[in-house]
Amino acid sequence: MPNFSYKALSTNGAVATGEIEASDRPEALRVLDKRGLQPVNLKESAKATPVKSLKKKKEFVSSKRKEGTDEKAEEIPDGPLKLKRAEVILFTEELSDMLGAGLQLEPALKSMENRQELGSLKAVSQRIRTIVRDGVNFSVALKKVSPSFGPLYCSLAAAGEASGALDTILKRQAHYLKTLAELQSRLILAMIYPAFLILVGIGVGVVFVTTLIPQLTELIKSTPGGKIPFAISMMMGFADFVKSWWIVITLSLIGGFLFFKAWKDNEANKPKWDHMKLNMPMVGSVISSRFYVQFLETMANLVGNGLPLLRALELSRDATQNLSLRGQLNQVIDQVGDGRAFSKAMIRSGTFPPLLIDMISVGEQTGKIDQSLRRAAERYDKELDKDLQRIMALIMPSVLIMMALLIGSFAYLMITAIFQTISNLGH
């Protein structure tokens, strides 16, 4: 069994040196961790003599027996760990703050692991730290530990690692996740009253169709010379059709939904579906604005930390989830790789707005493209906020107008039928 010489920091801050025997480097790191030592340098030493190796092996086995109960107590559960969005936000904020304060990644994760109030994040931090300590990239460790981080999160983490700006990337991602959570909360609150109105409208419509209109129809039929209005006849015919075929209608709707979901989730159709989302009213502008903000912020961080433009574009493309937009970025990357200017390549792609291209062109001319990218990101972040506020403001009036039209149509039909019945009675 090989020997490893180490230099490590103990819990009281003192420097400890020595040798340990372990089957491999990850095992040596685990032994040091059990002893409360944070390794600064660890390398395999020359092969020990048989006597010394046997002695150290006995000491190693003995220490393993003593630490057996601790290992069982600290054993991490297998399988992916699910996190709530609030826990992902807390993990991102805590880690970005510690990295921004100058801590290295592994000590920062160790600090989070020792926190008592983090709950399930302790297990996540421990598993990520174990994987990172074995030489795996942080972004890859995130994918292995929990699916809650998502492809976008892991891609941005990879970009942060490549640029050396992981703390900045994580801080911006935490801001994005908090904004998304706040938006969903606002949307739920804003939809409570419209949902109540919709339910009331549906209830009123059911009462009209199943009770009031049939009674009125019977009254008209019993009146001499009574004639049922055409609109009420159509409504009653539709109600009878639904009563007779409701099972078929329900199964058709469910089948249509499942077919659409299968089509949308098919890998061959995802680019087309992503392109369709970009052309949806109101929603498309929000998706586009969010892409511009994310793309520009990522590019600004990568270029500002010294990455070549082409490599920054590749990492930003990997962080883009919309496959239609990713295809456009592939065209830009190909043209930049052939020596074309970044702004010219964006013009030829036909995806980016002229104002954005002009701001980047100014950055190219002045040699401060990272600053131009950041200013453009701030501008489109404001545009995104305006789009979201506009959608929120349109929800309530739209629902009120729909309910007014529905209830008004029923009331008009009822009043018209009543007046027609009274008119027939007068004759």
3-state secondary structure the chain: CCEEEEEEECCCCCEEEEEEECCCHHHHHHHHHHCCCEEEEEEECCCCCHHHHHHHHHHHHHHHHHCHHHHHHCCCCCCCCCCCHHHHHHHHHHHHHHHHCCCCHHHHHHHHHHCCCCCCHHHHHHHHHHHHHCCCCHHHHHHHHCHHHHHHHHHHHHHHHHHCCHHHHHHHHHHHHHHHHHHHHHHHHHHHHHHHHHHHHHHHHHHHHHHHHHHHHHHHHHCCCCCCCHHHHHHHHHHHHHHHHHHHHHHHHHHHHHHHHHHHHCCCCHHHHHHHHHCCCCHHHHHHHHHHHHHHHHHHHHHHCCCCHHHHHHHHHHCCCCHHHHHHHHHHHHHHHCCCCHHHHHHHHCCCCHHHHHHHHHHHHHCCHHHHHHHHHHHHHHHHHHHHHHHHHHHHHHHHHHHHHHHHHHHHHHHHHHHHHHHHHHC
Distance CA 346, CA 354 (A): 9
Instruction: Work out the pLDDT band at 40, boundaries 50, 70, 90.
Output: low
Mean pLDDT (whole number) for 104-123: 78
Query: How many percent of the chain have pLDDT more than 70?
Result: 84
Mean pLDDT of the chain: 78
Mean pLDDT (whole number) for 381-403: 81
Instruction: Work out the pLDDT band at 424, boundaries 50, 70, 90.
Output: low
Sign of CA dihedral 145, 135, 33, 14: negative
pLDDT at 53 over 50: no
* Alpha carbon 180 to its chain's center: 8
Pairing relationship of beta strands 15-21 and 3-9 according to DSSP bridges: antiparallel
Instruction: Work out the pLDDT band at 253, boundaries 50, 70, 90.
Output: very high
Nearest to 31 by CA among 63, 55, 73, 5: 63
* Alpha carbon 146 to its chain's center: 13
pLDDT at 83 over 60: yes
Distance CA 67, CA 59 (A): 12
- Please check whether residue 129 is in contact with residue 110, taking contact to mean a CB–CB distance below 8 angstroms: yes
pLDDT at 63 over 60: no
Distance CA 60, CA 71 (A): 15
- Please check whether residue 45 is in contact with residue 3, taking contact to mean a CB–CB distance below 8 angstroms: yes
Lowest mean pLDDT among 8-12, 117-121, 168-172, 304-308: 8-12
Instruction: Work out the pLDDT band at 179, boundaries 50, 70, 90.
Output: confident
Instruction: Work out the pLDDT band at 257, boundaries 50, 70, 90.
Output: very high
- Please check whether residue 48 is in contact with residue 56, taking contact to mean a CB–CB distance below 8 angstroms: yes
Between 420 and 332, the more confident residue is 332
CA angle 174, 179, 181 (to 5 degrees): 95
* Most confident of the ranges 160-164, 263-267, 397-401: 263-267
Mean pLDDT (whole number) for 116-142: 82
Mean pLDDT (whole number) for 6-15: 65
pLDDT at 60: 45
